[in-house]
Structure 1
Amino acid sequence: MRKIILQMMTTLNGRLDDPMAWLSGVGDDQYREIDRIYAGYDTVLVGRTTYEEMAAYWPGALSDDVGTETNRAMAQRMNDYRKIVFSRSGSAALTPWNNVEPVVAATDADLAAFLRDLKAQPGADIHVSGGASFAQSVVALDLIDEFYFFTYPIVSPGESWFSTLTEKRDLKLLGIRAFEHGVVGSHHASHTAADLPHPASFTEMLR
């Protein structure tokens, strides 16, 4: 079955909103790693506001005289991939772009049902993009199979990934790597609580 993967840049305290308020840059080595991960997707899930930002940038980045080779490769992926744009009402028209599908999910139950059905369809993995509210909704529904975080050595006030969760979530570390600008990339898979030991006390944990 296909996996739903959340891949995002974030701060040490887990901020996910308004990246221009804290993002210091994206190094070439990090960009190449992002492109490598993107090669495993064929579908991008995105909220309406972030979709409009993407549609304003990526089509123009396809030109041979714009950006780096990696940036152009990313632009080609973003142009080709199926882009599913979620909204609560569907009242706002979307900027035209290639391979775009608007979906109205009025409730979290609607969103969960759509994503479970999407995972069961044939295809490559599915990337959860932004924005912050949409990504938090998918995280809260416990529908993320894997997480890729690029964590910047910055603490910044703002909305965090997991601030809306009402219960503990366990993640398994699959890999970690350092990049330019002090960025740490980490790859995690969702765990079920039954997979992990549960010590009876703090002192038992230290033995």
Structure 2
Amino acid sequence: MRTLLVTMFVSLDGVVQAPGGPDEDRDGGFAHGGWAAPYIDDDILSRAIGGAAQADALLLGRRTYEEFAEHWPLAGPDDPIGSRWAAVPKYVASRTLTSVSWQNSTLLTGDTVAAVIELKKSDGGEIQVHGSGHLVQTLLEHDLVDELQLMVIPVVLGSGKRLFGGGAVPARFALVGSATTRSGVVVVRYVRAGAVEYGAVGPETGNW
């Protein structure tokens, strides 16, 4: 079974909407687009390059796919991220697109959840999801996320689309890596670790 990794920029209050630019996603009148950009330093870029090298496929929602398809080809063949994204298979989950033109791209048809399950069963390495907030909500709702890599930006936004919505299933994750960049971003990586465990604390339990 292939590993599905979700990589997201997230604010302290859980917002993932439009981290990269003012016009990336204005849904709901969101006015804070580009909130992550001032924190993208050499540490983040180095991690992004290393992460891209590990990708064997991309799974993207419509909005993120269109952003990637418009901008990454401009980076040129010598860019370590752009060249990798061009080379790997890209699977696009969309209810509105009828075709995809970026090289090595495939539009998923029919039920997205069923298509992702079959994709995870196929031969190959790590499947990476970047951005694609609505798609990520669907993947979390159906327990299809194996790993989370979160870049926690030290800002509070107060509004915007959140990483975890009301449909997320209870799940336990184990921390397998963490680091802090010079700009104050906390990068954490979690792997799926089974069901949520419950207990109690307090003087009467001995767990105090």
TM-score bracket, shorter-length normalisation = 0.7 to 0.9
1:101 to 106, 110, 113: 106
Q: Tell me which residue corresponds to 1:25.
A: 39
Which AA in structure 2 matches 1:97?
W
Distance in structure 2 (CA, Å) of the matches to 1:191 and 1:167: 13
- CA-based RMSD of the aligned residues comes to 1.8
Query: C-alpha separation between the residues in 1 aligned to 2:17 and 2:185?
Result: 18
- How many residues are paired up? 191
**Is the CA contact 1:17–1:131 (under 8 Å) kept in the aligned structure 2?**
no
Alignment partner, residue 60 of structure 2: 46
Q: Equivalent residues in 2 for 1:22-101 (5 A)?
A: 22-23=35-36, 24-62=38-76, 72-91=79-98, 93-94=99-100, 96-101=101-106
Cα distance change on mapping 1:104 and 1:183 into 2, 3 Å:
same
Q: What is the letter of the counterpart of residue 141 of structure 2?
A: A
Q: How far does the alpha carbon of each residue in 1:135-192 deviate from its partner, in whole angstroms, 9 at most, with x for none?
A: 2111221100001001011111211111223543211111110113100000101121
8 Å CA contact retained: 2:7, 2:131: no
TM-score, length of structure 1 as denominator length: 0.85
Runs of 4+ in 1 over 3 A off after TM superposition: 204-207
CA distance in 2, matches of 1:29, 1:118: 31
The answer to whether the 8 A contact 2:60-2:132 is kept is yes
Q: Select the structure that is richer in helix.
A: 1
- TM-score relative to the length of structure 2: 0.84
For 1:67, the equivalent position in structure 2 comes to: none
* Identity, % of aligned positions: 28
Does residue 16 of the first structure (1) align with residue 23 of the second (2)?
A: no
**Where does structure 2 lack aligned partners over 5 or more consecutive residues?**
22-32
Unaligned runs of at least 5 residues, structure 1: 65-71
Task: Rate the CA distance shift 1:140–1:166 in 2: closer, same or farther, 3 A.
Answer: closer
In 2: Cα distance, 1:31 partner to 1:48 partner: 24
1:68 match: none
Q: By how many angstroms is 1:131 displaced? A: 2.1
Deviation at 1:46, TM superposition (A): 0.6
CA distance in 2, matches of 1:181, 1:142: 33
Match of 1:132 in 2: 133
- Cα distance, 1:202 vs structure 2: 2.7
Matched, 1:112 2:113: yes
1:155 matched to which residue of 2?
156
- Whether contact under 8 Å (1:5, 1:146) holds in the other structure is yes
Contact 1:30 1:180 in 2 (8 A): no
> Aligned with 1:17: secondary structure?
coil
